[in-house]
Structure 1
Amino acid sequence: MADDFVKAVDDGLKLSKRIYFGKDRSVAPPKPIVAMEKASHSYLPTAPMVYAVISDPSIVDNPDIPSYQPHVHGRCDPPALLPLQMNGIALEADCYLDTALVTVSGSWRVHCVMGSRQCDCRVAIPMGEQGSILGVEVDIPRKSYSTQLIVMDEKNNMEKVPKAEDGGFLKPHIFTFTISQVDGGSNLSIKVRWSQKLLFHNGQFSLSIPFSFPEYVTPAGKKISKKEKIQLNINVGPGTELLCKTTSHPLKELRRQVGKLGFLYEAEVLAWSSSDFIFSYTVSSSHIFGGVLLQSPSVLDTDEREMFCFYLFPGNQQSMKVFRKEVVFVVDISGSMRGKLLEDTKKALYAALSKLDPKDSFSIIAFNGETYLFSSAMELATEEAIENATQWININFIAGGGTNILLPLNQAIEMLSNTRDSIPIIFLITDGAVEDERHICDFMKSHLTNQGSICPRIYTFGIGSFCNHYFLRMLAIIGRGHYDASYDADSIDVRMEGLFSKASSTVLANLVIDTLDKLDELEVYPSRLPDLLSESPLIVSGRYQGVFPDILKARGILADMSNFSVDLKVQEAKDIPLDKVLAKRQIDLLTSNAWFLENKELELKVANMSIQSGVVSEYTRMVLLETQRGKKATEPAEVQKKTLMLQILGVGFGNLTATAENIHPGSEETKLPEAAEVFAKAASNCCGKLCGHCCCMCCINTCSRMNDQCAIVLTQLCGALACFGCMSCCEVCCSGQD
């Protein structure tokens, strides 16, 4: 799909040469892009963008200065995407704990379509790390649009199957949707909101927002005002000192308080921002510290219990000691992992082995329907052992067979049963779903609770959309580990290496929070507290009833096996919207629980949280509400409303059929265009058995790839056959025979 998008934009930029801007043009035409750059998806949006969807190239012209245009024969199939020029852009980001709430507002003009004609406009919104779309508002002359979440049920699910352009993810981080029938020369005002994670490394938080605009969205006129605005607010909690590190744009400090910072950048510019907005800061502490925030539920909250958020930061001490590790890599080599998936997995595994300390130990289990062990005992991570492991991987990592996850996990548990003075880690990598996933969770839950002082941690990594990501998340919760995924084959090695870096950075294990047992009611997300990592702050939230204590004590074990404790002051969450900051995290955790327990009440709870927070869930569906306004001021403000169903934005609960058939992730069959579906259906109804053989899907796909000469020959042949058919028909009808 991304490749088709890039090709459509390339076609659109070629069409833009038809537009005449007069002598006042101040921007150069798009520079040609060489083949190597095209292969890297250079036309994918790196900032919020809007495109005119052009099927009829004859409508492409300047709506203000009509010019003579040569006649164009034919249509663009698939339609070209012509980037619209942008008149203004404003970015606002609010950073709380490890989450950023982002709002982008912009104005675009349909500068490339005749004033008397209309076109659809496609909006593309790239988001930052683990971005989750929260809402969209669009305003155009006589119409407006806004997104809304509704509860998923069979009626809403089957009422209308959305087309690809009706909204969805072009890439895992790029959300797109289409606005229909926009007049040439009109302006679109768009406001979009999303949440994303802050990156954390070496005690430093980093915010990165896609904000790099190509030069061809700059308005052509020299006198057109171009305003660019960035507003940044940071609030990490009371009693915390902040230190700014780097920024990509010239920000002016507006306010500075304990735990809070405010910045603003606003200017008239000649050209739009050509780099992403990046800002980094540190929480100035050289030791482990944290706090507890309390907040009452809002009036619209269906859960009337009080909210709490417990956070623990590792500090920025570079010399902080991490635990020694005993790691068992459990890697899926089933048939669906063939090709690039397996090669990128091997690449990430090589990188993980190279980062092991000589005092660490490891082993590798490759699995499909069977298991293949590098070593039945844990091996010290010496240069010789790592070299042997690399050679073993090259020989044994051959994709083929089915998927059996329980057997290798059981073997890994047995191999780590005698671990002492270190963190035992199971690192599971898979791209498939299996039937006994709930049994696997029960099995691991019973075995891990019966282990010694430090039970094995489970880190899970899912590849593609066929595996059950909620099963993998649940396994990580049970094993006090972490979960990550790559839905895009291009990011497997990077994300997998990042997850292993987290797994290798444990500084505080067996975490326990005291004095919470005196509350009348308590619900904690996640239910089993993970370890504190130097590469990730720890955020735990929940609901409670009763009187919350003034101070909490957090206890754990340090890497030298000594005991550690810290007092956490409890305070009201002033100016921090906990419900919005924690929504995505809680919805994911509760969805995993709802799947594991098969609990309908939990599913309804997740749906209510989703609608209240705007975060998409597996049990809600995003729709686009279209409101048409009167053409004249005397007409009613709102005369018609229409609901447009968008694609299902959830990741689902795995695909057992695709896993059993070893279908490669990302190789799903693309749905036929609507016209092709209509043609196939008509051919099936009208031509009977003959079309059943000649107008099958394979024939249609073949015809769509045929060059002009072949098409002409085939047409002539069909015409000749039709003539012979007509002659036979006339002979029968006119011969006087019955």
Structure 2
Amino acid sequence: MRRTAVTKSRRIAATVAILALIFAAFQTASVFAAGGRGAGEMASDQRGAGRLMLRGKGVADEMPAMQLGTDIKVKVNGPVARVTVTQAFRNTSAGWMEATYLYPLPDDGAVDSLKMVVGQRIFEGKIKPREEARQIYEQAKAEGRKSGLVEQARANMFRNSVANVGPGETVLIAIEFQAPVQQLAGEYALRLPLVVGPRYVPPRSLMNERGEIDLVQVADAANVTAPLANPKLGSKLNPVSITVELDPGFEPAKIDSPYHPIKIVDQGAQKRLITLADGEVPANRDFKLSWRAPSGKPAVGLFKQEHAGLDYLMATITPPAGKQSGPALPREMIFVIDNSGSMAGDSMIAAKTSLIYALGTLRPQDTFNVIRFDDTMTQLFSAPVRADERQVAAATRFAKGLDANGGTDMLPALRAALVDRHGESRNSIRQIIFLTDGNLSDEAEMMAEIAANRGRSRVFMVGMGSAPNTFLMRRMSETGRGTFTHVGTDTEAVREMKALLDRLTAPVATDIKVTVSGASIDLAPRELPDLYRGEPLVLLGRTKQLTGTLKVTATIGGKTWTHSADLSAAAASESAAKLWAYRRIAEIEAQRYSYELDRETADAAIEELGLEFHLVTSRTSLVAEDETPSRPEGATLTKEELPLLLPAGWDFDTLFKGQNAAAKANPELAEQSELLELPETATGFMSALLAGLLLMLIGLFAAAVRRRRMIAA
């Protein structure tokens, strides 16, 4: 009997151990099978999978019942653009509808006006704290009254909502914003983003209260989500017309629009009227308009505005290009290239072209490394290596072999890039160049990581493709004391990379200080950034009385540079106060990312500025409402989230490989899904691996315990 019991115990223990080992092996094998470059076939319902956020329908295969058309009118006066975006929501259904639409704006654009137009009636939007504005909108919606709401999802991403649009009815939502004209190396540029690229939500492993591995997503992922229109619908969705009245204050030369054909009409007196040659274009890529001053030299701009008893200053001054004093220091160059699925197509070609060109500019005294990432990461070398012919050739082969696939999990690559083995060295400079479209949703984590660990490194962002996340690019470069460059097509890659690398080798203007006739001035930001060659100093400040002389000093190439300007010559401005406020809000957001301010303090300061200056922020929204109900009592209200076009040059099949197969296998599940997941190349790796190892240990432990008991018996 005893021998039978012992034998039975041994069999049970062995069975438990074998089952655990088999399951562990299965888990581990599935992880490594999914970890290959072809892991797009991973099941779309895998727990913890990273996601491109496609809420509701996921992919829209039919034309929406609510049709949308957008008209953009721009007035450029000197250094500022005033923009009116009118969105026409037309209900083509037989029922009452609510529509929401996610759309981009310049990340430095200050939204300050909302008008809702119903027939001949115009309803002005009011600025309210975010939660209060949402409550007003929801109450009006519930009572059958027309209402419109503008909320900020990110500094460059907004959501319009309009409720109670009747059958066959059209409601206009018009917002206005102002933004500074961008200047660089004598070129003036206006960039209007027209589409939000789908954003990846990376998983973050945490341990829950039961000690189990759990995965959490970006907290506000729902704010930056929208369905994506299937390309088979063509370009009928979301047509956009654009008109620009250009009055730069000088005779504009070399007017150009690199991504859209335009018509230019000379209106005399330094003014030009620019329209789209095709009348309308699909909302699938950024619109850019650039021009130059005839002299080739950037003009000095000086503007002032009185607001609520204070004077506001806006000044644009470009320091001269300094000369290098002594031999150039060796550089440690870290190149980080994004080869995730959203880069598939034109963006990947442009990124590889840019990287290969940059590798060819390295000098023998430089060191370098290359890091590639999707939702996994690879460092070409374990540490930066000398830029000799053999190592550069190896890096070039590595770059040429990259393919786009998987999710956009940038944080591990950023952490690796910031590791500095010679952090105290003054004998070299350290520069990190990111090549990415930046279409991710955890921007705050990127800024926080740079703020905490940048050391002596400087971070330079190169935005790839037709619709990069400029908010992420600009904020990462500002936090990293670098610059942001955009490469829209592969034909621009070499030109833009050459211009960037030329700036990086030229002396930097540092220790910039500003005074106004000895009086104090509240600058935004308070700490002025270093300037690279060709970059202007854009000052936004306020003081009690703006009189006397503005004085700017800086150190360029080891020498002191000084510039003075008579403030009595400043022209009147209607924009300086709000642009100052918006810049201050961006500074507060940055202080929150770097934990200089806690969330409650930052939110309170942002809300106060938003209400005072009538601006849409992360804490304030614009809401408009009709006082009279229009939807009959008892009539059903259907909500529709309008789909976005796929950005030009993106590869739809690469993005949705695997998801399409899963949807075909189980169409009912696909229809019911609230958040369809996109393929990626190793998401869930750690959780699955740890689960497998844990089960393996449990099996071994069970076998050991059984063996000890049998021996004791």
What TM-score does the superposition give when structure 1 sets the normalisation length? 0.53
Structure 1 equivalent of residue 688 of structure 2: none
Q: In structure 1, how many angstroms separate the alpha carbons of the residues matched to 2:133 and 2:84? A: 32
Q: In structure 1, how many angstroms separate the alpha carbons of the residues matched to 2:344 and 2:481? A: 27
Q: In structure 1, how many angstroms separate the alpha carbons of the residues matched to 2:608 and 2:310? A: 15
Amino acid corresponding to residue 76 of structure 2 in structure 1 = D
Matched, 1:93 2:91: no
Matched, 1:234 2:242: no
Q: In structure 2, how many angstroms separate the alpha carbons of the residues matched to 1:203 and 1:183? A: 51
Structure 2 equivalent of residue 505 of structure 1: 503
Secondary structure of residue in 2 paired with 1:139? strand
* Preserved contact between residue 287 and residue 315 of structure 1 (Cα < 8 Å): no
Change (3 A) 1:418 1:92: closer
Structure 1 equivalent of residue 219 of structure 2: none
CA offset at residue 581 of structure 1? 3.9
CA offset at residue 532 of structure 1? 3.1
Show CA shifts across 1:472-520 (max 9, x none). Answer: 877644542236899xxx9999999969954652555133445629745
Amino acid corresponding to residue 249 of structure 1 in structure 2 = K
Q: In structure 2, how many angstroms separate the alpha carbons of the residues matched to 1:330 and 1:396? A: 14
Q: In structure 1, how many angstroms separate the alpha carbons of the residues matched to 2:667 and 2:236? A: 40
Structure 2 equivalent of residue 390 of structure 1: 396
Change (3 A) 1:197 1:229: closer
Structure 2 equivalent of residue 609 of structure 1: 609
Q: In structure 1, how many angstroms separate the alpha carbons of the residues matched to 2:236 and 2:470? A: 39
Q: In structure 1, how many angstroms separate the alpha carbons of the residues matched to 2:423 and 2:415? A: 13
Show CA shifts across 1:62-98 (max 9, x none). Answer: xxxxxxxxxxxxxxxxx534567x9xx783423442x
Matched, 1:408 2:408: no
Q: In structure 2, how many angstroms separate the alpha carbons of the residues matched to 1:666 and 1:390? A: 29
* Preserved contact between residue 98 and residue 640 of structure 2 (Cα < 8 Å): no
Matched, 1:593 2:561: no
Greater RCO structure (CA 8 Å; 6+ sep): 2
Q: In structure 2, how many angstroms separate the alpha carbons of the residues matched to 1:119 and 1:526? A: 47
1:80 to 62, 65, 79: 65
Structure 2 equivalent of residue 182 of structure 1: 166
Secondary structure of residue in 2 paired with 1:417? coil
Secondary structure of residue in 2 paired with 1:427? strand
* Preserved contact between residue 137 and residue 147 of structure 1 (Cα < 8 Å): yes
Secondary structure of residue in 1 paired with 2:368? strand
Change (3 A) 1:80 1:477: closer
Change (3 A) 1:234 1:137: same
Structure 1 equivalent of residue 4 of structure 2: none
Q: In structure 2, how many angstroms separate the alpha carbons of the residues matched to 1:387 and 1:482? A: 27
Which structure 2 residue ranges, 5 or more long, are not aligned? 1-52, 143-147, 196-233, 632-638, 642-653, 660-665, 674-713
Amino acid corresponding to residue 530 of structure 1 in structure 2 = P
1:307 to 312, 316, 338: 312
Q: In structure 1, how many angstroms separate the alpha carbons of the residues matched to 2:242 and 2:402? A: 54
Q: How many residues align?
A: 520
Report matched runs for 1:13-412 at 5 Å.
79-82=64-67, 91-97=73-79, 99-104=80-85, 119-120=96-97, 122=99, 130=107, 132=109, 133-141=111-119, 145-152=123-130, 176-184=160-168, 188-195=171-178, 198=181, 200=183, 203-207=186-190, 230=243, 232-235=245-248, 242-243=252-253, 245-246=255-256, 248-253=262-267, 256=269, 261-263=270-272, 272=279, 280-286=290-296, 290-296=300-306, 298-299=307-308, 305-313=310-318, 326-329=331-334, 331=336, 339-340=341-342, 348=351, 350-355=353-358, 357-359=361-363, 361-364=366-369, 366=371, 372=379, 374=381, 376-377=383-384, 379-380=386-387, 384-392=390-398, 408=416, 411-412=419-420
Amino acid corresponding to residue 116 of structure 2 in structure 1 = V
Amino acid corresponding to residue 480 of structure 1 in structure 2 = R
Change (3 A) 1:584 1:91: same
Q: In structure 1, how many angstroms separate the alpha carbons of the residues matched to 2:490 and 2:587? A: 23
Show CA shifts across 1:251-282 (max 9, x none). Answer: 3425x3xxxx4445899x9x955699875421
Show CA shifts across 1:313-349 (max 9, x none). Answer: 47999xxxx988835326488xxx8545599679625
CA offset at residue 394 of structure 1? 7.3
Secondary structure of residue in 1 paired with 2:422? helix
Report matched runs for 1:313-712 at 5 Å.
313=318, 326-329=331-334, 331=336, 339-340=341-342, 348=351, 350-355=353-358, 357-359=361-363, 361-364=366-369, 366=371, 372=379, 374=381, 376-377=383-384, 379-380=386-387, 384-392=390-398, 408=416, 411-412=419-420, 414=422, 417-419=425-427, 424-427=430-433, 444=453, 447-448=455-456, 456-459=457-460, 476-477=477-478, 479-482=480-483, 502=500, 504-506=502-504, 507-514=506-513, 516=515, 519=518, 521-533=520-532, 536-545=535-544, 549-558=548-557, 564-570=561-567, 571-595=569-593, 596-599=595-598, 600-628=600-628, 701=669
Structure 2 equivalent of residue 689 of structure 1: none
**Please, what is the CA RMSD of the aligned residues?**
6.2
Which structure 1 residue ranges, 5 or more long, are not aligned? 13-78, 219-227, 449-455, 632-644, 648-663, 670-697, 706-738
CA offset at residue 374 of structure 1? 2.5
Q: In structure 2, how many angstroms separate the alpha carbons of the residues matched to 1:139 and 1:471? A: 33
CA offset at residue 578 of structure 1? 1.0
* Preserved contact between residue 144 and residue 626 of structure 1 (Cα < 8 Å): no
CA offset at residue 624 of structure 1? 4.3
Show CA shifts across 1:377-430 (max 9, x none). Answer: 5534x665432113355789998999557863553372783445xx64233578
Q: In structure 2, how many angstroms separate the alpha carbons of the residues matched to 1:158 and 1:597? A: 33
State the identity %: 13
Amino acid corresponding to residue 191 of structure 1 in structure 2 = A
* Preserved contact between residue 470 and residue 591 of structure 1 (Cα < 8 Å): no
Amino acid corresponding to residue 245 of structure 2 in structure 1 = L
* Preserved contact between residue 519 and residue 547 of structure 1 (Cα < 8 Å): no
Change (3 A) 1:278 1:503: closer
* Preserved contact between residue 458 and residue 476 of structure 1 (Cα < 8 Å): yes
Amino acid corresponding to residue 97 of structure 2 in structure 1 = D
Structure 2 equivalent of residue 36 of structure 1: none
Show CA shifts across 1:217-269 (max 9, x none). Answer: 99xxxxxxxxx995615345xxx665463583343425x3xxxx4445899x9
Q: In structure 2, how many angstroms separate the alpha carbons of the residues matched to 1:406 and 1:104? A: 36
* Preserved contact between residue 331 and residue 365 of structure 1 (Cα < 8 Å): yes
Structure 2 equivalent of residue 734 of structure 1: none
Q: In structure 2, how many angstroms separate the alpha carbons of the residues matched to 1:499 and 1:614? A: 39
Amino acid corresponding to residue 329 of structure 1 in structure 2 = I
Show CA shifts across 1:703-733 (max 9, x none). Answer: 759xxxxxxxxxxxxxxxxxxxxxxxxxxxx
Q: In structure 2, how many angstroms separate the alpha carbons of the residues matched to 1:472 and 1:83? A: 29
Change (3 A) 1:483 1:149: farther
Structure 1 equivalent of residue 206 of structure 2: none
